[in-house]
Structure 1
């Protein structure tokens, strides 16, 4: 589906038929948006899928600088930001995510699929295009594409020297610098280097510590070498790093998610440090009979999280201090290393029958430790692989697990064009995920629950998950401005391990559906849609409707007894919904957009019968987007004023399987105004313009995490 305020396609012309009598195709014209989400290039209008696409111009005009920005402009898509940078939940059409879970979408950056959900929520800079595909894409992208796929394309190396820089300030007080430079190095070698720096004191005040609870500093850099050593051969080398320093775990405890009156009053500022590195190499070789592609990637991620613990109040007011005579704080450490390799062969394009075959493999080593320490009022210190021996923070509880996972897949995609108007797309992928978990919790810290076994130090658990994922779509284009499509797709998300001993603790506390392992999830979707361009393509209208059967969807449980974050399964959830989207270009310089996404969820099966019939967690009933943008050059001055306003209304949202509370609809307004030329720009902005107070998340147990208030500032950019 068309992006918010993305330029509509104005014209297309048929090109001559291929010698093999392939159906004629419309040649892309100026203004057409070219998307790659279905693993081939074609116009957004011709793509038989619900896709929201943001071009580089739309990204710049909308001020998209992080995932939350483009997801807020996309119907039936939500991003829930919570306790730490590595935990941000993507929800597409009711397919949800939870803490420490596998992702709900495949995220592909420049052809390389991200391997860790903790990578997703990071700064976006030097970006050329973003595509959001809705609905299971397992046949194309494999495990974890159960809710959809997000395709991010960065700006590519150029043949001539060029660059850009943008600086900004906000009311944090914060400042930012983002930019990129590109050009040739030698014959057949081009480079691009991009980076960003964002630094703010924060926006959410903690009156107890007399400082902001959410200071944020992020450095990131990305380098790219594009090498053409021989005709038909291209080598794309990339390296990136990102270093985040912030704070987290500044919860409040309430019974109603709409209760926002409490200030943050944790007595431990804590820390949230995340370091990420990536190396990748993509090789394309045109053999004449088709293109052979190899993609190799290596990623590392470490994140340490410390802060206050339940009930997130100063020591003399805390629950545990009143009950036991001492308060608690907490720490979590995550260390992930992963390699991946994809190899595929694709037929030439522009033919009646196009196909692709390939294989994929990924190996992941993951260590996680969590624990509580006694809060002596002297701060909280990180705990890594072993329990703390720091007398300032005596260790009270500690759990640690090591995972060694290997997954592989084989896949095939094909398109057959029966006529100029009718085609079928089919994909089939088989994923096999083998997981091994080793308990590294020292014996002294293993939970002891009478009547239950919590395992032993050194215990090894093994489990495998596998699934076939088909996808088939039939498309009919009766005219060049109308596309009708319908089909079936299946997605798959691996199961895994909760930390050792969780099952015993859950059983002892009467919690149903949570054990030492959680099962794989599948989602089967039937979908139908249309894309229309009207009034000489000055108006676009897109609609889609879907029904999904989700089996073993995730839900989150926090076990206070051992301070662990755990996943359980809901045996069956039914999801139904639709999207309506429109853009209009009534006069030169003015663009309007509207989008409505609706999702109904219904828990059909669960061990506790009181849960059946409830809404699934983290799902919003609807999203409504309205936007307007005016940008037009003043005479022949070369100066174009920009005025843009976006309104997003997120409907009632449920957060737990008990439906213990429901958040009222939240309406937010973002605004931007400035001046642009071919080389420079200056823009004033305000996010959450009317300073709406709401909680971004409610977690079982009554934990609420405050959303950011109004943020406003000024940006200036220069291009050469």
Structure 2
């Protein structure tokens, strides 16, 4: 009783104290990535708790302590610690590419082929997949098609974010940080019991900074960022076999970092506005206004789970509403040539029912039904005039099943399949032309099987082979009028690997080959408006691996790397751009042959090295230090291979001191080499343009945990 009274007082205090928050999501389908007593990582990549070495696919998993230690504060930072993945942040929108599979399409109804799940709930919108990591328990990055268990739009892989579940003891955390560019971060969470069988958690977060670029003519701050969000969970346990988790959240992100974009260089390539001023400082721009991208959303979910003596039944219901508004300067210079307004309002309802085995035995199984309903409203204006207004609708259903059978004590076979069917509609109107309105419909379906073989070499080591297929549904172009739907993407993947885990060493190595069909791409028309199309096909192969050596209980080294070779097949109708001759300037757009060109946003080599040292002193205080090095060999931004990101390296570091009362003080630095590299590139008829990533930053953080 004393514990419950104490928890109630703390709940009241936190409700008053925290006025900002972080996005709230649903209860996880299973316990997230954790460390077992023998340093074995527990993951849920196959939607059940398993040791990482027993999972026949490539998984990179981090718990909360590892994320904090490596300076990973948001989903956009995952590339720093995960080889084989690149992330482009285009103004409050997250675009991840895993092993060459990603998307450049930003429009209503356009989902990423790298599916993001937060506590089991699919986050369909790219507009609200960027969020800072408060109250996060773990993140798992699944590489390769996940079409059987995670369904549509997971051809490249999946990112599973798990937040902390409400605890039965009072726990909490408060953190505050200040850094370069007047960056302020404040956040915290509180979790504990309310009464017998009922517990709850509340998390809140706020971030604000003045940006790292300026407008050279108007002296205004650009690349600014502001985020606030709040999330809460209520866990009801009416009996030992039953749990009900209710979740709700609200959040807002104002991010102009990916759209504060400047023309590259000078002369005819820079702009079609003759004589336009282009600052020589790469972190200064010259625009006619301050571009912005605002995303906000709210949602809720209900998970009901009951164990019927060996068979677990679960229902997960979720609803999300997101809004995105952006205003961008498409000519990239201080000339009022082309200003584009985009609005995307999205409503998504999902329902999933699953049955799964819960008792140990030679046969483990899972089956389920899934329903998805999405509506989007996407008007686009150019210089204040309506270009097109799209009202899109998607309705999808799926049935899936998968089982793992222990053929021999050392040999397991996993087989599964999913059938998906989807209908899409696009009703459009425009201000002028014939016709003024149009409506189109399209239906897509796919079978996505998986077969895995796992052989236990010894109690600490496994080898495996997996065949899987992924499916990304076709879609309509929301920013162009009257076009038919583009075809679905499909990926057939073959992967083999070796995994080893002991108290001192963890080693995971895999090799893979992908047959990638009907790639969906985005290009720009003469007015800078987005157009979608299918490339033909691509071939991707590579090697992925990570090695962790726990030299002492206090000292750990992790080395990870990936080699990825991805090229387009026959692609003779690719969108190309070439510099226009003076005095016209800008670019000439034409159709070219991209056959054999490298896939965009696909560096051949990525890698990272992390060194961590944590030690308890004789007086009970603790010291910690972490350094992370990241390497990227460079990649093509565009299919014509003309605009490229050169190779670059980044270094992050943090030093901390923790008192016995759990007050932790940290000094940190990000991009300590002050490397200049792009977080996004846009090539249009107006210009070649780039948004640079954040330069060197540093600051201090104070954290109190209990």
- TM-based fold match above 0.5: yes
Aligned residue number for residue 309 of structure 1: 330
Q: What secondary structure sits across from 2:443 in the alignment?
A: strand
Aligned residue number for residue 388 of structure 1: none
Aligned residue number for residue 488 of structure 1: 467
Aligned residue number for residue 361 of structure 1: 371
Query: Does residue 426 of structure 2 align to residue 437 of structure 1?
Result: yes
Contact in 1 for aligned 2:249/2:298 (Cα 8 Å): yes
| Residue pairs, 1:146-295, within 5 angstroms | 146-247=155-256, 249-254=259-264, 261=282, 263-295=284-316
CA distance in 1, matches of 2:427, 2:63: 45
CA distance in 2, matches of 1:542, 1:670: 24
Aligned residue number for residue 298 of structure 1: 319
Contact in 1 for aligned 2:92/2:254 (Cα 8 Å): no
Cα deviation code 1:643-696 (max 9, x no counterpart): 111111111211111111222111111111111246121111111012111222
CA distance in 1, matches of 2:347, 2:126: 13
CA distance in 1, matches of 2:281, 2:452: 46
Q: Under a length normalisation based on structure 1, what TM-score does the superposition of the two structures give?
A: 0.85
Q: What secondary structure sits across from 1:45 in the alignment?
A: helix
Provide closer, same or farther for how the CA distance between residues 253 and 280 of structure 1 changes in structure 2, counting only shifts above 3 A. same
CA distance in 2, matches of 1:477, 1:349: 21
Provide closer, same or farther for how the CA distance between residues 441 and 677 of structure 1 changes in structure 2, counting only shifts above 3 A. farther
Aligned residue number for residue 516 of structure 2: 550
Q: Among 397, 407, 411, which residue is 1:422 paired with?
A: 411
Question: Cα offset for 1:582?
Answer: 0.7
Cα deviation code 1:296-326 (max 9, x no counterpart): 000000011113231x2113xxxxxxxxxx6
Cα deviation code 1:177-229 (max 9, x no counterpart): 11100111112110000010001111122222213211211111110000012
Q: What secondary structure sits across from 2:519 in the alignment?
A: strand
Question: Cα offset for 1:556?
Answer: 1.8
Aligned residue number for residue 136 of structure 1: 145
CA distance in 1, matches of 2:309, 2:605: 48
Q: What secondary structure sits across from 2:690 in the alignment?
A: strand
Contact in 2 for aligned 1:555/1:657 (Cα 8 Å): no
CA distance in 2, matches of 1:171, 1:519: 46
CA distance in 2, matches of 1:521, 1:328: 32
CA distance in 2, matches of 1:262, 1:677: 40
CA distance in 1, matches of 2:342, 2:115: 25
Question: Cα offset for 1:246?
Answer: 3.5
| Residue pairs, 1:574-613, within 5 angstroms | 574-608=539-573, 610-613=593-596
The CA RMSD over aligned residues, in Å, is 1.9
| Residue pairs, 1:320-469, within 5 angstroms | 327-373=337-383, 395-442=384-431, 444=432, 446=433, 456-469=435-448
Aligned residue number for residue 576 of structure 2: none
CA distance in 2, matches of 1:353, 1:594: 35
CA distance in 1, matches of 2:36, 2:227: 39
Cα deviation code 1:9-28 (max 9, x no counterpart): xxxxxxxxxxxxxxxxxx95
Cα deviation code 1:19-50 (max 9, x no counterpart): xxxxxxxx953432211111110111222221
Provide closer, same or farther for how the CA distance between residues 649 and 501 of structure 1 changes in structure 2, counting only shifts above 3 A. closer
Provide closer, same or farther for how the CA distance between residues 44 and 289 of structure 1 changes in structure 2, counting only shifts above 3 A. closer
Contact in 2 for aligned 1:672/1:683 (Cα 8 Å): yes
Aligned residue number for residue 537 of structure 1: 503
Aligned residue number for residue 646 of structure 1: 628
| Residue pairs, 1:467-486, within 5 angstroms | 467-486=446-465
Aligned residue number for residue 560 of structure 1: 526
CA distance in 1, matches of 2:485, 2:638: 20
Contact in 1 for aligned 2:413/2:454 (Cα 8 Å): yes
Aligned residue number for residue 41 of structure 2: 33
Question: Cα offset for 1:262?
Answer: 7.0
Cα deviation code 1:482-512 (max 9, x no counterpart): 1100110000101111137557xxxxxxxxx
Aligned residue number for residue 390 of structure 1: none
Q: Among 64, 78, 85, which residue is 2:92 paired with?
A: 85
Cα deviation code 1:307-356 (max 9, x no counterpart): 3231x2113xxxxxxxxxx6332211010011000001112231111111
Aligned residue number for residue 623 of structure 1: 606
Question: Cα offset for 1:621?
Answer: 1.3
Contact in 1 for aligned 2:376/2:391 (Cα 8 Å): yes
Q: What secondary structure sits across from 1:160 in the alignment?
A: coil
Q: What secondary structure sits across from 2:466 in the alignment?
A: strand
| Residue pairs, 1:75-114, within 5 angstroms | 75-82=83-90, 84-86=91-93, 88-100=94-106, 101-114=110-123
CA distance in 2, matches of 1:707, 1:501: 30
Q: Which runs of 5+ in 2 are unaligned?
A: 1-34, 271-279, 574-591
CA distance in 1, matches of 2:115, 2:338: 37
CA distance in 1, matches of 2:133, 2:526: 36
Provide closer, same or farther for how the CA distance between residues 207 and 190 of structure 1 changes in structure 2, counting only shifts above 3 A. same
Aligned residue number for residue 690 of structure 1: 673
Contact in 2 for aligned 1:652/1:662 (Cα 8 Å): yes
Provide closer, same or farther for how the CA distance between residues 417 and 686 of structure 1 changes in structure 2, counting only shifts above 3 A. same
Contact in 2 for aligned 1:401/1:441 (Cα 8 Å): no
| Residue pairs, 1:60-79, within 5 angstroms | 60-79=68-87
Provide closer, same or farther for how the CA distance between residues 28 and 125 of structure 1 changes in structure 2, counting only shifts above 3 A. closer
Aligned residue number for residue 43 of structure 1: 51
CA distance in 2, matches of 1:28, 1:420: 22
Contact in 2 for aligned 1:96/1:619 (Cα 8 Å): no
Question: Cα offset for 1:157?
Answer: 0.7
Q: What secondary structure sits across from 1:60 in the alignment?
A: helix
Question: Cα offset for 1:361?
Answer: 0.4
Query: Does residue 689 of structure 2 align to residue 707 of structure 1?
Result: no
Aligned residue number for residue 319 of structure 1: none
Question: Cα offset for 1:544?
Answer: 0.3
Cα deviation code 1:417-444 (max 9, x no counterpart): 11221101122111111000001323x2
Query: Does residue 705 of structure 2 align to residue 719 of structure 1?
Result: yes
CA distance in 2, matches of 1:243, 1:411: 35
CA distance in 2, matches of 1:212, 1:479: 59
CA distance in 1, matches of 2:414, 2:115: 20
CA distance in 1, matches of 2:458, 2:479: 59
My pick for the range that moved more, 565-574 or 30-39, is: 30-39
Q: Under a length normalisation based on structure 2, what TM-score does the superposition of the two structures give?
A: 0.87
CA distance in 1, matches of 2:344, 2:71: 31
Contact in 2 for aligned 1:260/1:693 (Cα 8 Å): no
My pick for the range that moved more, 288-297 or 69-78, is: 69-78
* Number of residues of Structure 1 aligned to a counterpart in Structure 2: 634
CA distance in 2, matches of 1:121, 1:245: 11
CA distance in 2, matches of 1:219, 1:674: 26
